[in-house]
Structure 1
């Protein structure tokens, strides 16, 4: 059984910092010899600790080190595995290998009664989504590139065919079954669907001026856009309350700033509400919805006309 001091040393050690045995001894109020025995024991256990010799030497751990074990209560363990059940439904989840690791290796270390409890709970809970093909390395690479302010190159399946793109990602977000990556491409900010990307490569080129995803989202109202006003029916408002885009609906009305570049996307989302929503303003969005409705109706008019003529 690992003692609390050694566990604390594991938590303290950071690949970005170097510690001497004396510094650790003073921190934990024990002798240098005791600390050296602790460090030897951690190395024997497989903790990736290495020594830098010399006047400025000390102890470091490898960046991809094994972190301290989870210490969870039974309720926390149950909650963790329910979260894993949910995450299993999200395709391409970054660093998704953790699901398999926890579901198998950590699960096997739990007491038998907790394992039985988790197995029983799985029979009584479901998340009604449709998981797609998992390619988590793609989202992991994009997220890493965003954090490190590095550019990425990839082939993108656009409407007019496959094209090569180089851009600086702000981050990624998951919405309505898809991952999206807003990125700076030359002088423009474009939104890419991750499932349409191929042959992704993280480049060495860095740009420290690239904003974080959270900053970009907060600045959304400052982008070139217009105020959109929607009027929902009572039933439509209940549906909208569960929609990430329109969840701020209040008294059956929704107001928000929508960039003009996203009018087509917004119009298609509104079509899914059918008669449960009306665009009050602006006229441009009203027209987008009207045209899409006309195009949809035209397909049926043509079908009925062909049947009548035959």
Structure 2
């Protein structure tokens, strides 16, 4: 594709309307040349549509195809390595980008670059443990958060399934799961996305709903509590490969854990045996102690 057509794609991507004459004057070419350029862009899939009449012109459809990537070889290699890593993140928002780039963009690269990427894939691995894949709702939730729209869904809470009507702030990925802070009246509650089903985005809009970044800047999460753990030297070595506790430093780990995730955290800690101790809070200590007693009880003689 020549540079003029690339420049036309960038110009028209601004969503302004342009007549063929305006484009011809802007690029200092004839009307016939501009028309050939416009026809070529449409043939390659650039979503132009024409408005006829005195005030007519060319516009780009909302779900448009953006100008192609122009990367150096090093940038292309880095891009595909990032895609390899993203394969480990389940339900990634707008996840079709991975398949599109890995297949369609890959096929447009020179053969020597394709061979280089194929060779790199044989010599690199990301050992993060991926979570389970579910029907992806992350794209819809993220869009609803950006548009500040209310959502309605069924949620698998500790007490069973319940109907929830909230305003999402956004989503974030942590410890192998996607989480969604959402405002319910005057409170912000935390939901795990894989426990959501039957999602409906409503028409109600509330411009006062904060962004995820603004909420994260607050001192603590309203539904969480600081957990402090003490690891042994060997426990710290094990934690280094744990997606949850890998940030342990000087044999100590601390972080905000939602109350709803205490049971999950307690089960995770049981796998460390005597290599970790819960310093606080007491509620998590009690959950670990109870689970240990239940485990031992299974081996007691009747």
TM-score after normalising by structure 1: 0.78
SS at match of 2:207: coil
Q: For the Cα contact (< 8 Å) 2:247–2:253, is it kept in 1?
A: yes
Whole-angstrom CA distance in 1 between matches of 2:153 and 2:132: 21
Match of 1:139 in 2: 138
| Shift in alpha-carbon separation, 1:278–1:98, aligned structure 2, 3 A | same
The equivalent of 2:150 in structure 1 is 151
Which residue of the partner structure matches residue 176 of structure 2? Answer: 177
- The reply to whether residue 99 of structure 1 matches residue 101 of structure 2 is no
> RMSD of the alignment, in Å?
3.4
Give me the whole-angstrom Cα distance separating, in 2, the residues matched to 1:167 and 1:229: 31
- Judged with a 3 Å threshold, the aligned counterparts in structure 2 of structure 1 residues 209 and 245 are, in CA distance, closer, same or farther, namely farther
Contact 2:190 2:223 in 1 (8 A): no
Map 1:18-33 → 2, pairs under 5 A: 18=17, 30=28, 33=31
Measured after TM superposition, the shift of residue 67 of structure 1 is 0.8
Greater share of residues in helix: 1
Report deviation, 1:149. Answer: 1.0
The superposition leaves residues 103-154 of structure 1 with CA deviations (integer Å, 9 ceiling, x where unpaired) of 2222222222222333333333334445744533x22111111111111212
Structure 1 pair 16–288 and aligned structure 2 pair: CA distance change class (3 A) = farther
- Find the aligned partners of 1:177 and 1:228 in 2 and give their Cα distance: 18
1:156-167 aligned at under 5 Å gives the runs: 156-167=155-166
Q: Distance between the aligned counterparts of 1:82 and 1:273, measured in 2? A: 32
Give 5+ residue unaligned stretches, structure 2.
none
How many Å separate the matches in 1 of 2:80 and 2:122? 13
Aligned residue for 1:71?
A: 70
The answer to whether the Cα contact below 8 Å between 2:181 and 2:191 also exists between their aligned partners in 1 is yes
**Which residue in the other structure is 1:200 paired with?**
199
Give the stretch that moved more between structures: 262-271 or 177-186: 262-271
User: Alpha-carbon deviations, 1:175-222, whole Å to 9, x = none?
Assistant: 333222222234433322222222211111112222222222222526
Shift of residue 65, structure 1, vs aligned partner: 0.5
Matched, 1:47 2:24: no
Tell me what 2:61 maps to: 62
1:49 & 1:9 partners in 2: Cα distance?
11
SS of 1:297's equivalent? helix
Q: CA, structure 1 residues 29+8, in 2 after alignment: closer, same or farther (shift >3 Å)?
A: closer
Contact 1:15–1:60 (8 Å) recurs in 2: no
Write the distance in 2 (CA, Å) between the matches of 1:164 and 1:24: 53
Supply the distance in 2 between the matched residues of 1:158 and 1:81 (Cα, whole angstroms). Answer: 38
Residue 228 to residue 102, structure 1, CA distance change in 2 (3 Å): closer
